[in-house]
Amino acid sequence: MVSASPPAASSRTPRRHRTTAIATLGALAITCRHPAAPADDPRVLSSNSPTPTPTSTPTPTSTSTSTSTPTPTSTSTQTPTPANPTPFGPPVAIPRYTCPVVLRSGSHRSFLAVADTQVAFVDGNDPLALANRAPTGVLPPDYAPSDLVDLRSGSPRSAAACESSHACLRRDAATALSAMLDAMSKDKVAGQVTSAFRGFSTQCWVFASWANKARGGFCEATQQSALPGHSQHQLGTTVDLFTAEWAHEGMRTGGGVFRNGFGCSPGGRWLDENAWRFGYVLPYPIHPDDRSQGSRCEPRRDRPQTINAKTGYMQEPWHLRFVGADAASRYHEAWLASGPGSPDEITLEQWLRRDRGLVGDAELPVCDGCECGACATFAPDDHGTPCGAASLQLDASGRALAPSEPPVLVGARATRDGGVIAVEVTVRSPPHTITQTPVTSAEGPTYGPGSTYESLAPHADDPPRAYADLAGAWRVAVEPVPPSVPQGGAESRTPRWPWRTSLASAEIAGAWNRANVLLPARADESSVVVRVPATPGTSKLRVTLLRDGVEHDTREIESF
């Protein structure tokens, strides 16, 4: 049994789950999104343990001079709205939310709005269900798979039995896991399952325990432990898989299994390279920007780690989700084609989104008081949600709602410092105005010579990436006067309004500029700053508010 206290700061790793214990629930260790068990517990499965008898084959599955333009002018093609009216799934009412500790009346400073606990979108029986941190990524509290089997015997088990004394998965996932453990054993890597299926109620007290124990409290817990209903483990197709050697060393040192380095261990490397062959996918990798150069498993040490904006969580090299052999193979091919290690590298989240016709890299997390300025909610009243106006409001289908009034460009001025011009634009935005990345400020990121919104590096030492227009999003846009003339072919063309920036708070840039996502603009009157290159022979800039390729409140400013 590992310690009930969080590990010392020197040994802490960004992860969603650490081992804790709850006295009122006995001496049961809690790890990842599931209750964990010691190596001699019957719920722990290793490659040396009896495996379930296969009963089926895994199913594939300066001051501004106004020259306002009263008539909006189209400059580009609007991003098409997906045809699917319910891309997240049909909403299902939740009659009763059974985890009061994360509600406003609960014991934590941060909480969920009641409106975000009244509807579920995820069909747990869909092998490609989009379960995540978003308001639309939640399973009903009463959902449990109907075909759970014991990982040791292969015998059918009820959800209650699986949560109390048996490690279980859905039948096809268990069969595939058995084959994968056998393959690991043949390669002299002894795999060991630490946790598997876990239902809503268990996830409730696991999350509450971690929020009480974590040094960063509730908000640290949300980055490392899924809120109840948002956990992929409730699908019954997800395991936390280590190796016997890794677990033994953790027991010897007191560090437990959830410690630094598993991704670079023999077991972690084996899973990264081979799990997809058995229908399993690693949903939570390190963001390419955060990887040590040349490594897929080692994070950078030269800057603070944040969540991966493409997944909503920290890295987890032990967390595997079964999607079926066919789907895993197709995802692996798409991942290879996306450019591993580049800003365009996809995760399972982006692959599933594309299949549903969703645009952008991800949906924002549900508003719980921790990601204000980068969260979304179904709450229609700002007093009913912890982030108030610093949020996107969603309609009944889960899509971001636009305010009844558009934002207004109040003023703009430019200050030149050598070859860089800092353009400060003041905008008045109604609450919940939709904007998107990139977020810029006086500190950067900076548009250099030749860079545009289609090729901007969020940090000086990161590769550039594109922030393509997302439907419905407002951005400040700047261009030289006269506009740059397109040169050469399509690859070398300079787009109109090459320098674009978000209306969101600069405080969220660190994490969220690493993805192309919709964001809430700062409400009321505020200023944004975008640094652009001084164009030879140009003394003026044109500034506008751009939405879906249409200009609003366009004006010219001096740029001496």
User: Can you name the residues that pair with 164 across neighbouring β-strands?
Assistant: none
- List, for residues 288-317, the tens digit of each pLDDT value: 999 998 899 999 999 888 899 999 999 999
Task: Say which residue, 5 or 187, is predicted with more confidence.
Answer: 187
Q: Given this model, what pLDDT does residue 28 score?
A: 27
pLDDT band per the 50, 70, 90 thresholds, residue 237:
very high
Distance, in Å, from the CA atom of 60 to the CA atom of 423, rounded to the nearest integer, reads 53
Residue 8 has pLDDT above 50, yes or no: no
**In the chain, % of residues over pLDDT 70:** 82
What is the edge-to-edge ordering of all strands in the sheet holding 524-533? 408-417, 420-429, 524-533
- List, for residues 117-173, the tens digit of each pLDDT value: 999 999 999 999 999 999 999 999 999 999 999 999 999 999 999 988 899 999 999
Model pTM greater than 0.75? yes
- List, for residues 447-484, the tens digit of each pLDDT value: 999 999 999 999 989 999 999 999 999 999 999 998 76
User: Can you name the residues that pair with 156 across neighbouring β-strands?
Assistant: 149
Distance, in Å, from the CA atom of 372 to the CA atom of 505, rounded to the nearest integer, reads 10
Residue 428 has pLDDT above 60, yes or no: yes
Asked whether the beta carbons of 506 and 530 are under 8 A apart, the reply is: no
Task: Say which residue, 270 or 5, is predicted with more confidence.
Answer: 270
Asked whether the beta carbons of 498 and 485 are under 8 A apart, the reply is: no
- List, for residues 327-355, the tens digit of each pLDDT value: 999 999 999 999 999 999 999 999 999 99
Residue 58 has pLDDT above 90, yes or no: no
pLDDT band per the 50, 70, 90 thresholds, residue 47:
low
Q: Given this model, what pLDDT does residue 492 score?
A: 52
Q: Most confidently modeled of 83-92, 109-118, 231-240?
A: 231-240
Q: Most confidently modeled of 31-35, 64-68, 400-404?
A: 400-404
Distance, in Å, from the CA atom of 480 to the CA atom of 559, rounded to the nearest integer, reads 9
Distance, in Å, from the CA atom of 242 to the CA atom of 194, rounded to the nearest integer, reads 7
Q: Given this model, what pLDDT does residue 103 score?
A: 80
Asked whether the beta carbons of 262 and 246 are under 8 A apart, the reply is: yes
pLDDT band per the 50, 70, 90 thresholds, residue 72:
very low
Residue 527 has pLDDT above 50, yes or no: yes
Q: Given this model, what pLDDT does residue 215 score?
A: 79
pLDDT band per the 50, 70, 90 thresholds, residue 396:
very high
Residue 439 has pLDDT above 50, yes or no: yes
Q: Which two tokens stand for residue 240?
A: 């936390």
Q: Given this model, what pLDDT does residue 536 score?
A: 82
| Integer CA distances (angstroms), 234 to 137, 196, 285, in order | 12, 9, 20
Mean pLDDT confidence for 529-554: 94
User: Can you name the residues that pair with 524 across neighbouring β-strands?
Assistant: 429
- List, for residues 354-363, the tens digit of each pLDDT value: 999 999 999 9
Task: Say which residue, 22 or 229, is predicted with more confidence.
Answer: 229
Q: Given this model, what pLDDT does residue 463 score?
A: 96
Q: Given this model, what pLDDT does residue 535 score?
A: 82
pLDDT band per the 50, 70, 90 thresholds, residue 384:
confident
Residue 300: CA count within 13 A, CB half-sphere: 14
Task: Say which residue, 35 or 282, is predicted with more confidence.
Answer: 282
Instruction: Please give the distance of CA 482 from its chain centroid, rounded to a whole number.
Output: 40
Q: Which of 49-63, 85-99, 252-266, 407-421 has the lowest mean pLDDT?
A: 49-63
Mean pLDDT confidence for 399-419: 95
- List, for residues 244-261, the tens digit of each pLDDT value: 999 999 999 999 998 889
pLDDT band per the 50, 70, 90 thresholds, residue 45:
low
Q: Which two tokens stand for residue 513?
A: 């500029």
What average pLDDT does the chain have? 85
Neighbours of 29 (CB within 10 A): 20
Residue located via tokens 């949906």: 363
**In the chain, % of residues over pLDDT 90:** 71
pLDDT band per the 50, 70, 90 thresholds, residue 61:
very low
Look up residue 60 and give its DSSP letter.
P
Asked whether the beta carbons of 372 and 391 are under 8 A apart, the reply is: yes
Residue 89 has pLDDT above 70, yes or no: yes
Phi, psi at residue 175, to the nearest 5°? -60, -45
Distance, in Å, from the CA atom of 467 to the CA atom of 463, rounded to the nearest integer, reads 13
Q: Given this model, what pLDDT does residue 423 score?
A: 97
Phi, psi at residue 551, to the nearest 5°? -85, 145
- Residue 218, amino acid: F
